[in-house]
């Protein structure tokens, strides 16, 4: 059995990625979540509805000890298993003008995206390298490339993730482990529900928001053998906003 781990997988893009990895590539998906157990179970149900298999795995990506404990416990029960695909999807938005931003809003957004990347990747990368096969796919954002007023914290977190993607790709490329980032623009998810659609759609050449499934399609491709010569890349899914 092949295994993939998706963080922040109880909703939105993460949920769609789980379904795609299972249905397109036959991965048994580890569905990470922190708070919303009901939605995490729904992700498993959606995977199973497409003929795939999945299980939930609760841990806090911002805590190395919690992440390590849960992943080690799973590995102990599945001694022959190797997580071949890791999708660092967990993210958080706490928007506001920088001059009014409190320290918690800064730290929490950075911690989920960047500490989360370190904590989870650090716990699974060794087996990927020893196995000489792996796919690490980081879900970043348009904000990390172009910046976005009112999202200095979110832009900083995703800009850092993009830089880390490129650096890590250079470190482990010889081990047949690829590291890539996907940078979505405006996608129809819970994160964008409160946005003024008519206002923002005017700046998108494609004249619409994207879908979580479109992002998941790219992740599925990057996880597949077809993408074995792609590493250190940042792939934009933004309807033409540059």
- Of the residues 3, 27, 33, 154, only one is catalytic, namely 154
Q: How many Cβ atoms from other residues are within 10 Å of residue 23's Cβ?
A: 17
Beta-carbon contacts of residue 34 (< 8 Å; ≥ 6 apart): 58, 59, 60, 61
How many CA atoms are closer than 13 Å to the CA of 177, on its beta-carbon side? Answer: 25
Which of 229, 226, 215 has its CA nearest to residue 25? 226
What's the token pair of residue 94? 């706490």
**Quick one: tokens of 15?**
């949920």
Cα–Cα dist 215/225, whole Å: 18
The yes-or-no answer on residue 3 being catalytic is: no
Angle formed by the axes of helices 152-172 and 116-131, nearest 10°? 20
Rounded to the nearest 10°, the torsion over CA 195, 198, 204, 206 is 120
CB of 216 closer than 8 Å to CB of 13: yes
Q: Give Cβ neighbours of residue 193 (< 8 Å, ≥ 6 apart).
A: none
Contacts of 123 (CB under 8 A, 6+ apart): 67, 68, 71, 72
Active site (catalytic) residues: 154
């Amino acid at each position: 059995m092949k295994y993939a781990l998706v963080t922040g997988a109880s909703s939105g893009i993460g949920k769609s990625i789980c379904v795609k990895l299972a249905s397109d590539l036959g991965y048994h998906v580890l569905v990470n979540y922190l708070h919303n157990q009901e939605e995490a179970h729904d992700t498993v149900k959606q995977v199973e509805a497409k003929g795939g298999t999945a299980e939930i795995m609760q841990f806090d990506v911002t805590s190395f000890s919690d992440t390590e404990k849960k992943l080690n416990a799973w590995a102990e029960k599945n001694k022959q298993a190797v997580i071949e695909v890791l999708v660092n999807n967990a993210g958080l938005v706490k928007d506001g003008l920088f001059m009014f931003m409190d320290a918690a809003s800064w730290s929490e957004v950075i911690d989920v995206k960047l500490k989360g990347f370190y904590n989870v990747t650090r716990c699974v990368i060794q087996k990927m390298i020893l196995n000489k096969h792996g796919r690490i796919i980081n879900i970043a954002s348009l904000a990390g490339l172009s910046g976005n007023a009112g999202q200095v914290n979110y832009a900083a977190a995703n800009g850092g993730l993009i830089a880390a993607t490129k650096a890590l790709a250079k470190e482990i490329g010889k081990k047949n482990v690829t590291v890539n980032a996907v940078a979505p623009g405006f996608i129809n998810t819970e994160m964008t529900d409160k946005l003024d659609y008519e206002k923002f759609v005017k700046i998108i050449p494609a004249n619409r928001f994207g879908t979580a499934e479109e992002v998941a399609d790219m992740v599925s491709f990057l996880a597949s053998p077809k993408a074995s010569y792609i590493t250190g890349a940042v792939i934009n899914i933004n309807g033409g906003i540059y």
